[in-house]
Structure 1
Amino acid sequence: MLKRVEDRPTPPCVYNWRVWALASIASFASCMIGYDSAFIGGTIALTSFKNDFGGPLSANTQANIVSAYQAGAFVGAFAGYPLGYFWGRKWGLMATAVIFTIASIIMTITSPSTGLTPIYVGRAIAGLAIGAASNLTPIYIAEISPSPMRGQAVGVYELGWQIGGVVGFWINYGVAETVKISTEQWRIPFAVQLIPGGLFAIGCFFLIESPRWLISRGRVEEAKRNLSVIRQLDTDEPYFVDEFSLMQSSYAEDVRAAGGDDFWAPFRSTFGSRELVKRLLFGSSLFFWQNATGINAVNYYSPTVFKSLGITGTNTGLLTTGVFGIIKTVGSLIYILFLVETVGRRNLLMIGGLGGALSMYYIGGYIAIAKPQLKTSGSLDGAGISALVFFYIWTVFYSPTYNPTPWVINAEMFPQHARTIAQTSGSASNWLYNFAISRATPYMFRDMGYGVYLFFASLMILSVIYIFFLLPETKGVPIESMNDLFSIRPVRHAHSQVMSELQARERISDGMAPRGVGATVDTLEKRTSHSGGSVTPDKDSQNEHGNTKLYTSPA
């Protein structure tokens, strides 16, 4: 549990409670995201909501309510860059918490007399805050985390998302069971948004500003103090000196590569590098494949999904949805504790794609043959139960794989000078694909029937092929060495070679270099001097270093 691959021997105190605490506080942002993504589909399906706003909602009205949030988030993802640049990670996140809380109040005061307008407006404003927070939070967590536990710490962001989602899924079942059909019944889920928003605003006061951001602002001594607090190391400890020196030299190199450190410098350097543009497109594509699993069709329209399986009755559908949320949360916890730094990012995505595809094919086949939508009994037969089981199996494959991994990879695979632009691109891509799914899903279920499941299953098969040929493993690789990782072909050898070269460099610095290592380190240093060209390791280098044993650290 919590084992890690290290690029060098690391003092145990570096993996301390403060890193987890800061990641958890920042991840209240994802609690907001998770709750808002989960509760809306069930709330607009409540009888009380339908009664107050003119009966069953049309597919277009449902799509408008849901997608206003994604449209705002798409714009907000771009707003996250100037917030993070000028205000820093801490106060930028504080701004998103305040905006989200205001939006929650607007939605909560909606009534039959106001119509749906406050919900549309509030959802769009909440989306602005969510988009910016989804940009800043993974960056902040990645920047404060030691590289061997970076995936686990960023995974806390996804865990927060799922905890918020569980509350969002279950709140509708709770009010449906315990509150009489009235305006208050559907208003309660909207009002609950104030809780994660308020807690996040309070928590932001306790965040410690990112040392990497402080270095970029010229506040070097403050950066040193903050890193010392986060690592729980004195500033003269060898590990601390090495890490802080690497941060400073990396930033100096970034400024040189960007031609300055002004507001537009990251744009010039990122879009002026063909390799970084390719990496931007690749990061965006990971969120396409995440949405290609069908997850947001389920998140936003879960009652519709379960109805297609033959599950009838509002409360029954909401109960089934709540179980779905619990499975997702458990999967995220397993990801953090056991998988992300051992199985790694690349293997998890391929496993998730293959297992999820087989499950979706089964569900689509069941609906095509059994036609559960035509049944009127209200209960599932044996075949229907098996389809529900396979839906939950699909959730088991998805939640510890495609759910968190695109966020982790996007937060770690860019050099410092490109990271804010990259995270902006990744967040905006996520919300763009969310928007497309939220708009299309009601019509897909109306017009495609079982074909919806076959469609998503086929996309998941394609994702496995895509990941195998294009994604190198990033676990344990320092952020400052990502250019080296992405320069090696074929990608399946990249991780082992970069890690063995880093360890060779560490042995040289300790005076323990074995014969022949000097050439390996020279190769690494040559690659480090540029932003990532197409460098293919020779066959002898792969054979010599590809299977070097890595340092392993338990929790």
Structure 2
Amino acid sequence: MPKLFAKFQTPEPAPGSVPPPPETANLRIGLVALVGLSAASLFGYDLGFIGGTIALPSFIKDFHYDHRSAADLANFQSNVVAVFQAGCIFGCLFTAPLSDRFGRRAALMLTSFIYIIGCILMTVAGVGGANASALLLAGRVVSGWAVGASSMLAPVFVAESSPPHLRGRLVGCYEIGVQAGTCLGFWIPRSPEQNIDFYLLSQYISLKHLKNTVAWRMPIALQIVFGGLLSLLLLFVKETPRYIAVKQGAVAAESALARLRKLPASHPYVQEELLGILEQIEHEKTQKAGSYLQIIRESFGPSNRRRLLTGMLIMVSFQMSGTNAINYYAPRIFKSLGLKGTSSSLFASGVYGLVRLVAVIIAMAIVSDRAGRVSMMMVGGAGMAVCLWIVGALIKTHPVAAASKVISPSSYAAITLIYIYAVFFCFSYAGIPWVYCSEIFPLRIRSFNVSITTSTHWAFNLMLGKSVPFMISNIGYATWFVFAACLTVSSVWLYFCVPETRGVPLEQMDQLFGGPSPAEIHAEAMERWAGQDKPESPLHKEDASMSDV
């Protein structure tokens, strides 16, 4: 057994490495994690609220689908989900150049403003005679662009700011934000339909004649709060030390790193981390031709091809686990498992969100930096696969009778297994893909590569968003077998092909994927610095302190 899991053990620290001081876990790095959590809530809330909202009778009526065919309604609802995901794909692809040009923080601030604009468009859809469907879909595309951009930017921003020993937990806060937003989104659409009194709200905003539409407008408008919170938090954090090192040099990076670690600039831990950053930058300069086209070429070149393919396949495995399909269509899925009535299926969706939230907090806060990234995905994926194989078998052998008014034991078993599946997901694919893909790429091509892996995530999200309703209708139980088979294959692939990254500094990722070792990078940097009149190495403090920044 020890031999079986040997590849998942944390790599030994380099000889002479400075152990992380307790000061590195401080309020400033906590604010960085909150930025990631807040950015993730934009995505998570949409995952949770949209499925319940588009199923509300008031939504269907206001968009004039109450007298249309079931096929027309299903097509419109899937389009509402799909255009958001299409916006996400373009958002994460086209934000990488902005991130490299203006910084991770500035790009995140821009996306928060764009997100708010999209949410306003959706909220006012149909007011004053406006074309409700067109305005809603336009708002979904705009807000989707912002969510896609933030899903690429936030993990990179947190990873580049985090000390190695905390990186898993801090980037994992992104997934906690996703699940917190999802949980809230699952519960919000229930409230107006359960006759909770929104009369005072509608009176206050002078929209009493729109009281029925508050049922779907309120959860949409709540998104504006999430965008505003992200903008507010960004005012209290600085750009990442690694980005500053590239754009402003060693002295500015040293100051930023010391501030973030809450240590003196002369502290050995700060100096060691800074030296690793600067040496990696020097190494990358030897390969840099200066153009964005060269970055694209290098990203698909031999030295980076394996990690890019690994990141993309991890995101494919994430989506093909079926989790976001359940998130988007949870009420419908729970109905297909035997729950009767909109209220029961929405309540089951809400409980599903709570289970995921509790599980992901435990996984990301306690387990992620103790267990390996790859072992968590492999073992959790295997557990998810077992659950879905059994769910599919139960539906096949004990099909739900449409006329039955009683929930069968097999339906209860299937629903319970979906909750167990959710726990396995939260201990595996919930946060680890975001952590893994944000840490494996070299600094100067990191934004572009993370945009590729994240767009892969959104492309498969889009595909599933459009196909899952038809899969449930046409192949029924086999839907679960498709996801179970994908999880089974991915667990085998993870064991044999994917290296462990837990505890590895960002500057040492090259060696894991067949690149130069830290010692080789150090020797190369020393050779380059030896030929400079004003070296930026922290080992030459008297010169570096005099250099222009």
Q: Deviations over 1:269-293 (max 9, x none)?
A: 323x213122112101111101111
2:269 is matched with 239
1:370 aligns with 2:364: no
The alpha carbon displacement at 1:294 in A equals 0.6
Q: Deviations over 1:201-225 (max 9, x none)?
A: 1111112111111111134433222
1:548 is matched with none
Q: 1:258·1:268 contact (CA, 8 Å) conserved in 2?
A: no
1:10 is matched with 20
The alpha carbon displacement at 1:375 in A equals 3.9
1:119 aligns with 2:119: no
The alpha carbon displacement at 1:5 in A equals 8.3
1:89 aligns with 2:104: yes
Distance change (3 Å), C-alpha of 1:399 and 1:373: farther
CA distance in 2, matches of 1:79, 1:206: 26
Q: 1:158·1:404 contact (CA, 8 Å) conserved in 2?
A: yes
The alpha carbon displacement at 1:227 in A equals 1.0
CA distance in 1, matches of 2:455, 2:361: 26
2:527 is matched with none
The alpha carbon displacement at 1:265 in A equals 4.2
Alignment of 1:120-269 (within 5 A): 120-177=137-194, 178=196, 182-260=212-290, 262-269=291-298
Q: 2:35·2:154 contact (CA, 8 Å) conserved in 1?
A: no
Q: Which moved more, 1:211-220 or 1:244-253?
A: 211-220
The alpha carbon displacement at 1:476 in A equals 0.2
- Residue 525 (structure 1) aligned to one of 512, 519, 525: 519
CA distance in 1, matches of 2:292, 2:418: 47
CA distance in 2, matches of 1:6, 1:89: 31
Q: Which moved more, 1:365-374 or 1:81-90?
A: 365-374
Superposed CA RMSD:
2.0
Residue 133 of structure 1 aligns to which amino acid in structure 2? S
Q: SS where residue 264 of structure 2 aligns?
A: coil
1:510 is matched with none
Q: Deviations over 1:106-147 (max 9, x none)?
A: 000012742311111000000111111111111110001011
Q: SS where residue 258 of structure 1 aligns?
A: coil
- Residue 29 (structure 1) aligned to one of 25, 35, 39: 39
What TM-score, normalized to structure 2?
0.86
Residue 247 of structure 1 aligns to which amino acid in structure 2? I
Q: 1:355·1:394 contact (CA, 8 Å) conserved in 2?
A: yes
Q: SS where residue 310 of structure 1 aligns?
A: coil
Q: Deviations over 1:319-373 (max 9, x none)?
A: 1101111111112111222211111111111111111111111111111122114
1:75 is matched with 90
CA distance in 2, matches of 1:344, 1:249: 27
Residue 190 of structure 2 aligns to which amino acid in structure 1? Y
Q: SS where residue 235 of structure 1 aligns?
A: coil
The alpha carbon displacement at 1:59 in A equals 2.3
Q: Which moved more, 1:341-350 or 1:175-184?
A: 175-184
Distance change (3 Å), C-alpha of 1:373 and 1:305: farther
- Residue 305 (structure 1) aligned to one of 319, 326, 333: 333
CA distance in 1, matches of 2:518, 2:273: 18
Q: 1:26·1:204 contact (CA, 8 Å) conserved in 2?
A: no
- Percent identity over the alignment? 32
The alpha carbon displacement at 1:264 in A equals 4.1
- Residue 79 (structure 2) aligned to one of 52, 64, 85: 64
Q: SS where residue 487 of structure 1 aligns?
A: coil
The alpha carbon displacement at 1:477 in A equals 0.7
1:106 aligns with 2:116: no
2:425 is matched with 398
- Residue 296 (structure 1) aligned to one of 306, 316, 324: 324
CA distance in 2, matches of 1:205, 1:5: 36
CA distance in 1, matches of 2:146, 2:249: 28
- Residue 323 (structure 1) aligned to one of 343, 351, 358: 351
Runs (5+) with no aligned partner, structure 2: 1-9, 199-210, 525-549
Q: 2:31·2:236 contact (CA, 8 Å) conserved in 1?
A: no
Q: SS where residue 338 of structure 2 aligns?
A: coil
Q: 1:5·1:341 contact (CA, 8 Å) conserved in 2?
A: no
CA distance in 2, matches of 1:78, 1:20: 28
CA distance in 2, matches of 1:486, 1:100: 36
The alpha carbon displacement at 1:298 in A equals 0.5
CA distance in 1, matches of 2:277, 2:322: 39
- Equivalent pairs counted in the alignment come to 491
Q: 1:484·1:528 contact (CA, 8 Å) conserved in 2?
A: no
Distance change (3 Å), C-alpha of 1:429 and 1:341: same
Q: 1:341·1:475 contact (CA, 8 Å) conserved in 2?
A: yes
1:360 is matched with 388
Residue 347 of structure 2 aligns to which amino acid in structure 1? L
Q: Deviations over 1:23-53 (max 9, x none)?
A: 1123211111111122111101011111222
Q: 1:46·1:176 contact (CA, 8 Å) conserved in 2?
A: yes
Runs (5+) with no aligned partner, structure 1: 489-521, 531-555
1:454 aligns with 2:485: no
Distance change (3 Å), C-alpha of 1:373 and 1:460: farther
Distance change (3 Å), C-alpha of 1:523 and 1:292: closer
Q: 1:216·1:251 contact (CA, 8 Å) conserved in 2?
A: yes
Structure 1 runs (4+) deviating above 6 angstroms are 527-530
1:477 aligns with 2:504: yes
